């Protein structure tokens, strides 16, 4: 079985607090976490900076409980999109966005959810768990996302904090399960304090409340997380290949077009 992972640990300005979160995650048995940098275009125009290397943030990483390995720390970027124009950034191949290990998108409308599932080059689509969904999940975009290797993320921390959010979390999760049948689900924390973190087996038990089977709930904190990370690695390498191919094609066109014109002139 793949190691456990939490793909959503908010990257705040407090390094000491972040270190405590990582230590708690390692102590609970997580082998990998992703530091999540969130950009919400609705708040104000924000520049996307290059991700900060974990080695620059932390002098040393904690050892995972029951192993001799250090906790693996990944970088993640989440874009909160409320307008189709916000998606243009995700279509750029030269942006700093491509330097992140994981790219997630949090669509606020049904149209943007459809775009995220069917066309955007992302690894995760975030599901709102703090309020009632403004739209219904539809099978075609969800199935398209599954076919493309994209995963849907559910957060459990809001359900722990507040009874109203707990109802929304369970309701929205079950609505999604009715369409995706438990496939391609990851469960993350978005914990801001160590006390908000739960062990992977406790999280898997929460997954049962979300409508997942026992095996699907375990996969949501292990194998599905690993698949998401691999999807990110493939996306990053593919971007480089596409960019190189485009450059080569451009050079070839510049070399061949004059020759064609010359042939026409001679004819």
Q: How many domains does the chain have?
A: 1
Q: Write down the pTM of the prediction.
A: 0.84
Tell whether 243 is covered by a domain: no
Q: Return the structure tokens found at 3.
A: 């190691």
Residue 259 Cα to chain centre, angstroms: 47
pLDDT tens string, the chain, 267 residues long: the values are: 468 999 999 988 888 889 999 999 999 999 999 999 998 877 666 678 888 888 888 888 998 998 889 999 999 999 998 887 777 777 665 578 888 999 999 998 899 999 999 998 899 999 998 888 888 889 999 999 999 999 999 999 998 888 888 999 999 999 999 999 999 999 999 999 999 999 999 999 999 999 999 999 999 999 999 999 999 998 878 754 443 333 334 434 444 444 444 444 454
Q: Return the structure tokens found at 121.
A: 């080059």
Tell whether 75 is covered by a domain: yes
Tell whether 94 is covered by a domain: yes
Tell whether 212 is covered by a domain: yes
**Is 182 in contact with 212 (CB distance < 8 Å)?**
yes
Pick from 15, 36, 7: which is nearest to 224 by CA? Answer: 7
CA distances from 122 to 8, 19, 236 (A): 15, 28, 10
Tell whether 50 is covered by a domain: yes
Tell whether 151 is covered by a domain: yes
Tell whether 58 is covered by a domain: yes
What is residue 235's predicted lDDT score, i.e. its pLDDT?
83
Tell whether 241 is covered by a domain: no
Judged by DSSP in three states, 214 sits in: helix
**Is 206 in contact with 196 (CB distance < 8 Å)?**
no
Q: Return the structure tokens found at 241.
A: 């290949």
Write down how long the chain is: 267
Q: Find the CATH number of the domain harbouring 222.
A: 3.20.20.140
Judged by DSSP in three states, 49 sits in: coil
Angle of CA points 229, 225, 58, to nearest 5°: 65
Q: Which domain holds residue 225?
A: 5-236
What is residue 262's predicted lDDT score, i.e. its pLDDT?
45
What is residue 91's predicted lDDT score, i.e. its pLDDT?
67
Judged by DSSP in three states, 91 sits in: helix
What is residue 242's predicted lDDT score, i.e. its pLDDT?
40
């Amino acid at each position: 079985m793949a190691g456990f992972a939490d793909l959503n640990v908010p990257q705040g300005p407090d390094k000491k607090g972040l270190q405590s979160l990582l230590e708690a995650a390692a102590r609970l048995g997580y082998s990998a976490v992703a530091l999540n940098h969130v950009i919400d275009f609705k708040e104000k125009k924000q520049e996307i900076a290059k991700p900060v290397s974990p080695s620059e943030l932390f002098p040393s990483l904690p050892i995972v409980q029951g192993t001799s390995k250090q906790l693996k720390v990944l970088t993640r970027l989440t874009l909160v999109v409320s307008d189709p124009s916000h998606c243009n950034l995700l279509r750029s191949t030269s942006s700093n966005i491509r330097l992140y290990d994981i790219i997630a998108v949090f669509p606020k409308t049904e149209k943007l959810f459809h775009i995220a599932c069917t066309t955007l080059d992302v690894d995760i689509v975030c599901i709102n768990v703090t309020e009632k969904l403004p739209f219904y999940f539809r099978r075609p975009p969800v199935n398209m996302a599954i076919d493309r290797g994209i995963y849907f993320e559910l957060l459990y921390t809001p359900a722990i904090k507040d009874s109203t959010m707990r109802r929304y979390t369970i309701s929205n999760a079950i609505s999604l399960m009715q369409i995706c049948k438990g496939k391609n689900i990851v469960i993350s924390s978005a914990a801001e304090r160590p006390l908000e973190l739960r062990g992977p087996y406790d999280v898997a038990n929460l997954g049962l409340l979300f409508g997942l089977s026992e095996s699907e709930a375990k996969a949501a904190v292990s194998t599905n997380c690993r698949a998401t990370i691999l999807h990110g690695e493939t996306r990053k390498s593919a971007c480089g290949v596409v960019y190189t191919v485009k450059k080569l094609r451009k050079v070839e066109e510049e070399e061949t077009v004059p020759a064609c014109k010359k042939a026409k002139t001679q004819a």
